[in-house]
Chain A
Amino acid sequence: MSETQKRSRREFLKVSSAAVTGASLAGVGVARNAHAAGSDVVKVALIGSGGRGTGAVAQLMNADDNVQLVAVADAFENRAMGAIANLKKQYGDRASVPQDRVFLGLQGYQDAIESGCDLIVIATPPGFRPVHYAAAVAAGKHIFMEKPCCVDAPGYRMLMEANKRADEKGLLVGVGLQRRHEPQYMETIQRIHDGALGEVQFLRVYWNGGGIWNRSREEGMTEMQYQVHNWYHFCWLSGDNICEQHIHNMDVGNWVMNDEHPVEANGMGGCTARYLGDLKGTGQIFDHHFVEFTYADGTKMFSQCRHMKDCFNSVSEAAHGTEGTSDCSGRIEGKNGWRYDGKRVGGHQQEQTDLIAALRAGKRYNEGWYGANSSMTAVLGRMANYSGKVVKWDEAVAKGAQIVPDPDQWTWDAKAPVEKDENGDYPIPMPGVYSPFAG
């Protein structure tokens, strides 16, 4: 073993390189699934070719040598061409996409879906997700979609409907909640389900970090172009930080609760530091949230998310039970104390490895159900915080406002869903005034 391969014990336990997981698939038989049948090659179309979408395609390629990229759609040409160039560097001809299968603008997703692909990676800003997902399902394609899967209640309803169609058609649906594929989480949560904590009484979930990028307006951009370019900072596109990143932790909470979702939420939040100075007038999302969720059996989930520099940071989950506590990812303290000592696996690779393995084996695979519920959990929390009211799940799902325009409005010249006020600021929701409901 060379020095560079030499690893200390614990690191060896931790890492599992893409190459190794890829190699472990060698010998898996040819596709038995209807859509990959007759061909070893799984043709992939990428919709939304930013860093994450490009990375997801790379991980699919790592998972299986016979994955090929056949089409790319992105709002912006530089992102589409950049993704292809970056993938070609690593994967050569497998990422060779001809110019006539590169689709630009906000309507290019349809062309990508119809490009003769087997599997579609959807990694556009989340506001577009339900429509992209439903269109891919309607076309009978397998899907990997990033989280969150929706940013509003109509989006959630669209997801649930598409999930049904996907199941009817036997389509595979992967969702980018990668903790679900990490054995350190899987084993721990299995133990919690088996009673290692006694009765779970409450959960704590966190995504407190220093913040996220903020992209400047470029010369000549229409308002729609700017908002899509700087999408994280517009609620109709990202769903706010509580949806975009914090969903990971709330999803772990729901998972611990046997894939139940909360029935009620109240909380508080605001925007103190995000759009000051040079960043004035560059967005409208909160920079901190706290939510108290209640599940049907009365169990509570306390959630914090924050984007603020030099504050207490934590990206983690905790479950507290009558007989112990757990970090949900390898540690249980209390009566049934335990440490995960197996291999720690990176979920971003594993989720693609698992999806392709299921496809090759012709297995049922639909993560869209918990993906939709956890996305709506985050939306529920945001509705509670933006409004300052107690919001119930059923009412939120039935009557929650639509914040994403209909797809016929997805053009660069369309009126943007939010606009700056006379002070040059985008509207930031005011608790006590804001209504989260339609009409």
Chain B
Amino acid sequence: MTDVLRNASRIRSARIWLTGLLIGVLAASAAIGAEGDATGQTFDPNDWEAVKWLPLARRSPAGENPDAEAADEAGMKAYAEAIPGTDLRIEMIPIPSGKFVMGSPESEAGRGEGEGPQHEVEVDAFWMGKTEITWEQYDAWSLKLDVTQRKMKRDAAGEDRTNWDKLVDAIARPTNAYTDMTFGMGHDGYPAICMTQFAAKVYCKWLTANTGRYYRLPTEAEWEYACRAGTTTAYSFGDSADDLDEYAWYFDNSEDGYAKVGQKKPNPWGLHDMHGNVCEWVLDQYDPEFYKTHGGKTVRNPLNDPKTLFPRCVRGGSWLDDAEDLRSAARRGSDPDWKMQDPQIPQSIWYLTDAEFLGFRVVRPLRMPTADEAKLYEPDPQVIQDYREAQGGKM
């Protein structure tokens, strides 16, 4: 069975299951559509892997987007993902499946810990955001701007919330930021920063609910594969940092802050700012020993599933970093110091107050993950429950 067929069958069985259980309970507070019976129970989409409610998400007005559909890898095209309720678009670039050598050779100048041994990695096809997620794209979720906009339109048209509206509205949103999280570095067109990996994962889930297409953070392997874009050199444009200024924002050419996304030259696959500007969240635990566990064998779609909150992997280097930290193979782990100025106990699950150099971009896999795989990609619902409990029931 091909992946596509497998997906179709999975979606079918998910739909049957949903009809029996979820769609009905989602509409707990309102009349239910034709799909099922209200049971009076409540359904929280945060508690379920997105793959389980994707059929409902597919009812999004964004669902009709021919450019975004691909029956197989050959059909993958670049497309713009419109966020319903907003004027925003996220540009997505197709990344073909393939094999590459992950890590850096010992001879590479500026090589850091954990970049070896080099090993061969096979990666399935996916789309990747052309740029880092910007503040406008992030605020649509974090400030519930999409909720407000859709409500205004519904109110004007005298319409009720659809089950799809309820699904999107129910996705968790962060608490209000205490201070100005741009720190005066700029807002429109600039990359969103200072989010926890958890927040970035919830964002992806929200984007999935909003569009009906499955989004997540990249794995570390996917990220490096896309960054290299077929190259084997230290940077995607060669081994020398002499040309870095044409491709990246880093310490030497940044004036006390990040830059608007997409201003520098892209890499060979059309991705901007993979090197520099803000470093980017990936899904993996940071473990300098991880590459050794592959024992020189070719590995397929590796992911070092995180077991501890710190350190988790960030990639690409930032405006605060030196040239060698922007290399394709350069790895870095998150650090508790990135929350240093969060003065509260418990500390927020949404903000890394001191990570003014850290953002993310999204990917969309061609093959839908299984529910078990999705657990590795999606936010752990327990995190929100624990946070609520630690605050005496308040958020």
Question: Chain A interface: which of B228-236, B333-341, B361-369?
Answer: B333-341
Enumerate chain B residues within 8 angstroms of A51, measured Cβ to Cβ.
344-346, 391
**Contact flags B323-338 to A (C-beta < 8 A → 1, else 0):** 0010000011101110
**Contact flags A320-358 to B (C-beta < 8 A → 1, else 0):** 000000000000000000000000001111000000000
Given A8-B322, A11-B357, A15-B354, A210:B143 Cβ within 8 A = yes
Given A8-B321, A215-B394, A309-B145, A209:B340 Cβ within 8 A = no
For chain B, residues 280 to 319, give those with C-beta under 8 angstroms from any C-beta of chain A.
286, 288, 310-311, 317-318
For chain A, residues 231 to 254, give those with C-beta under 8 angstroms from any C-beta of chain B.
245
Residue among A4, A5, A14, A58 making CB contact with B286, cutoff 8 Å: A4
Interface residue? A81 (CB, 8 A): yes
Please name the residue on chain A nearest to B333 by beta carbon. A4
Given A59-B343, A210-B177, A316-B184, A3:B391 Cβ within 8 A = no
Interface residue? A55 (CB, 8 A): yes
Whether B180 pairs with A79 at a CB distance below 8 angstroms is no
Interface residue? B19 (CB, 8 A): no
Whether A76 pairs with B392 at a CB distance below 8 angstroms is yes
Interface residue? B113 (CB, 8 A): yes
Interface residue? A82 (CB, 8 A): yes
Report the separation of the CA atoms of residues A4 and B335 in the bound assembly, to the nearest whole angstrom. 7
Whether B392 pairs with A348 at a CB distance below 8 angstroms is no
Given A11-B357, A51-B391, A82-B391, A313:B187 Cβ within 8 A = yes
* A181 CB, nearest partner CB in chain B, Å: 12
Whether B344 pairs with A55 at a CB distance below 8 angstroms is yes
Enumerate chain B residues within 8 angstroms of A82, measured Cβ to Cβ.
389-392
For chain A, residues 198 to 229, give those with C-beta under 8 angstroms from any C-beta of chain B.
207-213, 215
Residue among A8, A212, A349 making CB contact with B251, cutoff 8 Å: A8
Report the separation of the CA atoms of residues A79 and B389 in the bound assembly, to the nearest whole angstrom. 10
Decide if the interface of chain B is mainly helix, strand, loop or mixed.
Answer: loop
Interface residue? A54 (CB, 8 A): yes
Given A10-B251, A349-B340, A3:B184 Cβ within 8 A = no
Whether A9 pairs with B112 at a CB distance below 8 angstroms is no
Residue among A3, A78, A85 making CB contact with B393, cutoff 8 Å: A78
Enumerate chain A residues within 8 angstroms of B389, measured Cβ to Cβ.
82
Whether B343 pairs with A52 at a CB distance below 8 angstroms is yes
Enumerate chain A residues within 8 angstroms of B181, measured Cβ to Cβ.
313
Enumerate chain B residues within 8 angstroms of A79, measured Cβ to Cβ.
392
Enumerate chain A residues within 8 angstroms of B184, measured Cβ to Cβ.
314, 316
Interface residue? B395 (CB, 8 A): yes
Enumerate chain A residues within 8 angstroms of B392, measured Cβ to Cβ.
76, 78-79, 81-82
Given A3-B112, A86-B346, A348-B341, A310:B180 Cβ within 8 A = no
Enumerate chain B residues within 8 angstroms of A76, measured Cβ to Cβ.
392
Interface residue? B359 (CB, 8 A): no
Whether B331 pairs with A9 at a CB distance below 8 angstroms is no
Enumerate chain B residues within 8 angstroms of A57, measured Cβ to Cβ.
345
* A87 CB, nearest partner CB in chain B, Å: 7
Interface residue? B24 (CB, 8 A): no
Enumerate chain B residues within 8 angstroms of A54, measured Cβ to Cβ.
344-346
Please name the residue on chain A nearest to B343 by beta carbon. A348
Interface residue? A99 (CB, 8 A): no
Interface residue? A18 (CB, 8 A): yes
Question: Count of chain B residues with Cβ under 8 Å from any Cβ of A?
Answer: 50
Given A14-B354, A17-B340, A55-B345, A212:B176 Cβ within 8 A = yes
Residue among B178, B317, B337, B357 making CB contact with A17, cutoff 8 Å: B337
**Contact flags A61-75 to B (C-beta < 8 A → 1, else 0):** 000000000000000
Whether B321 pairs with A315 at a CB distance below 8 angstroms is no
Interface residue? B182 (CB, 8 A): yes
Interface residue? B94 (CB, 8 A): no
For chain A, residues 294 to 314, give those with C-beta under 8 angstroms from any C-beta of chain B.
309-310, 313-314
Report the separation of the CA atoms of residues A4 and B287 in the bound assembly, to the nearest whole angstrom. 9
Interface residue? A2 (CB, 8 A): yes
Please name the residue on chain A nearest to B390 by beta carbon. A86
Enumerate chain B residues within 8 angstroms of A159, measured Cβ to Cβ.
none
Tell me how many residue pairs across A and B have CB atoms closer than 8 Å.
122
Whether A6 pairs with B112 at a CB distance below 8 angstroms is yes
* A79 CB, nearest partner CB in chain B, Å: 5
Enumerate chain A residues within 8 angstroms of B139, measured Cβ to Cβ.
309-310
Interface residue? B240 (CB, 8 A): no
Whether A209 pairs with B179 at a CB distance below 8 angstroms is yes
Enumerate chain A residues within 8 angstroms of B286, measured Cβ to Cβ.
3-4
Whether A313 pairs with B182 at a CB distance below 8 angstroms is yes
Enumerate chain A residues within 8 angstroms of B145, measured Cβ to Cβ.
309-310
Residue among B177, B318, B332, B340 making CB contact with A15, cutoff 8 Å: B340
Given A4-B333, A6-B112, A82-B390, A210:B176 Cβ within 8 A = yes
Whether A10 pairs with B320 at a CB distance below 8 angstroms is yes
Report the separation of the CA atoms of residues A87 and B180 in the bound assembly, to the nearest whole angstrom. 28
Which of B139, B143, B345 counts the most chain A CB atoms within 10 A?
B345
Given A2-B288, A78-B393, A313-B182, A52:B344 Cβ within 8 A = yes
Enumerate chain A residues within 8 angstroms of B354, measured Cβ to Cβ.
14-15, 346
Whether B143 pairs with A309 at a CB distance below 8 angstroms is yes
Please name the residue on chain B nearest to A277 by beta carbon. B151
Please name the residue on chain A nearest to B340 by beta carbon. A346
Whether B177 pairs with A346 at a CB distance below 8 angstroms is no
Interface residue? A83 (CB, 8 A): yes
Interface residue? B129 (CB, 8 A): no
Residue among A5, A11, A313 making CB contact with B320, cutoff 8 Å: A11
For chain B, residues 117 to 162, give those with C-beta under 8 angstroms from any C-beta of chain A.
139, 143-145
Whether A213 pairs with B176 at a CB distance below 8 angstroms is yes
Interface residue? B218 (CB, 8 A): no
Whether A313 pairs with B180 at a CB distance below 8 angstroms is yes
Interface residue? B262 (CB, 8 A): no
Please name the residue on chain B nearest to A344 by beta carbon. B354
Interface residue? A56 (CB, 8 A): yes
Interface residue? B114 (CB, 8 A): yes
Please name the residue on chain B nearest to A51 by beta carbon. B344
Enumerate chain A residues within 8 angstroms of B393, measured Cβ to Cβ.
78
Interface residue? B370 (CB, 8 A): no
Whether A3 pairs with B335 at a CB distance below 8 angstroms is no
Report the separation of the CA atoms of residues A78 and B390 in the bound assembly, to the nearest whole angstrom. 9
Interface residue? B385 (CB, 8 A): no
Residue among B177, B331, B342 making CB contact with A209, cutoff 8 Å: B177
Enumerate chain B residues within 8 angstroms of A56, measured Cβ to Cβ.
343
For chain B, residues 188 to 205, give those with C-beta under 8 angstroms from any C-beta of chain A.
none
Enumerate chain A residues within 8 angstroms of B42, measured Cβ to Cβ.
none
* A332 CB, nearest partner CB in chain B, Å: 13
Query: Assuming A15-B354, A76-B392, A346-B341, what are 8 further A-B pairs, CB within 8 angstroms?
Result: A4-B310, A4-B311, A8-B320, A15-B340, A56-B343, A87-B345, A310-B143, A314-B180
- Closest 4 pairs between A and B when the two form their complex, measured CB to CB: A51-B344, A78-B392, A54-B345, A348-B343
Return 19 A-B CB contacts under 8 Å, by A number.
A3-B286, A3-B288, A7-B335, A8-B318, A11-B357, A14-B354, A51-B391, A52-B343, A55-B342, A78-B393, A81-B392, A208-B180, A209-B178, A210-B176, A309-B145, A310-B145, A313-B182, A313-B187, A315-B179
A residues adjacent to B (C-beta < 8 A)? 2-11, 14-18, 51-52, 54-59, 76, 78-79, 81-83, 85-87, 90, 178, 207-213, 215, 245, 309-310, 313-316, 346-349
